[in-house]
């Protein structure tokens, strides 16, 4: 199948395909490149990687490109659930790359060692935390399949406060999206991760925050 067969897909991620085709998604290639530099700064070579909420799969394919031993991409909301997309984009790029990334259609609340087939060295939880209604319970589940390190990319809020707190967004208040619920501050992120068994953290400001954004966003690496 040539890249010319792709246009009917509404892309979230952008891709440069081996045949030279450029697929322009909602997330521009330059932003994805900068995100990937931060997300993969500790490497995944030789590691098993689970990408939860993979959508078009940019970070799953990037983990494979960066020599992960095995990559499992999961999603449900945007693959076969009520979300904004389908799995067609993922499948198309998978074919174009000749990828060996595995897939599992599973919703976040169903994630467990039993359902995903064990524990992964590295778990990517990117752009998903603020979508879930019960963040701590969800993090406990994601932690249950994390062997060494979890990478979380998320909205944050209220970092000026000296306590661990989360901000709740009513209706479409956050980014005009009714599926956005919670943003923790950095203290709350670390506190929750300590409570679910993680020992070491590294939190960096998202590399692509627009200067005029009132919102804040971070990438956190957390080690057991």
Applying CB under 6 A, the residues found at the interface with ligand SAM are 27, 53-55, 75, 77-78, 83, 108, 126-128, 131-132, 153, 179
d(CA 27, CA 76): 19
Least Å distance, CB 132 to ligand SAM, is 6
Shortest CB 108 distance to ligand SAM, Å: 5
Q: Find the shortest distance in angstroms from Cβ 138 to ligand SAM.
A: 9
CB of 155 to ligand SAM, least distance (A): 10
Measured at CB, which residue is nearest to ligand SAM?
127
- What's the CA gap between 186 and 200, in Å, rounded? 14
Least distance (Å) between residue 187 CB and ligand SAM = 23
Please state, as a whole number, how many other Cβ atoms lie within 10 Å of the Cβ of residue 194: 13
What's the distance, Cα to Cα, between the start and end of the chain in Å? 43
Where b means 16+ CB within 10 Å and e means fewer, 71-98 reads bbbbbbbbbeeebebbbebbbbbbebbe
Residue 78 or 116 having the CB closest to ligand SAM: 78
Strand blocks (E) in the chain? 15-16, 22-23, 48-52, 70-75, 102-105, 120-126, 146-156, 166-168, 182-184, 200-205, 216-223
Nearer to ligand SAM, 83 or 164 (CB): 83
In this structure, how many other beta carbons lie within 10 angstroms of the beta carbon of residue 167?
A: 18
Residue with smaller CB distance to ligand SAM, 48 or 60 = 60
Task: Provide the CA 21 distance to its chain's centre, in angstroms.
Answer: 24
- Looking at the Cβ atoms of 109 and 194, the one nearer to ligand SAM is 109
Residue 121 Cβ vs ligand SAM, minimum distance, rounded to whole Å: 18
Measured from the CB atom, the residue of 88 and 191 that comes closer to ligand SAM is 88
As a whole number of angstroms, the distance between CA 174 and CA 181 comes to: 8
Report the DSSP beta bridge partners of residue 120: 146
Nearer to ligand SAM, 61 or 193 (CB): 61
């Amino acid at each position: 199948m040539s890249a010319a067969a792709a246009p009917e897909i509404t892309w979230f991620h952008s891709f440069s395909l081996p045949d030279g085709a450029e697929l322009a998604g909602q997330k521009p290639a330059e932003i994805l490149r900068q995100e990937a530099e931060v997300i993969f700064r500790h490497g995944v070579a030789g590691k098993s990687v689970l990408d939860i909420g993979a959508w078009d799969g940019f970070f799953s394919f990037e983990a494979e490109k960066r020599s992960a031993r095995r990559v499992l991409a999961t999603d449900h909301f945007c693959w076969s659930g009520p979300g904004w997309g389908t799995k067609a984009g993922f499948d198309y790029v998978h074919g174009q790359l000749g990828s060996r990334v595995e897939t599992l259609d599973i919703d976040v609340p169903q994630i467990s060692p039993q359902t995903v087939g064990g524990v992964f060295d590295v778990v990517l939880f990117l752009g998903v935390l603020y979508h879930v209604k019960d963040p701590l319970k969800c993090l406990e589940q994601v932690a249950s399949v994390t062997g060494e390190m979890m990478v979380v990319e998320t909205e944050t809020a209220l970092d000026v406060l000296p306590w661990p707190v989360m901000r709740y967004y009513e209706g479409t208040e956050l980014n005009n999206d009714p599926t956005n619920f919670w943003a923790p501050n950095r203290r709350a992120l670390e506190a929750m991760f300590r409570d679910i068994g993680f020992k070491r953290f590294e939190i960096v400001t998202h590399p692509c925050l627009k200067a005029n954004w009132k919102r804040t966003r971070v990438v956190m690496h957390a080690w057991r």
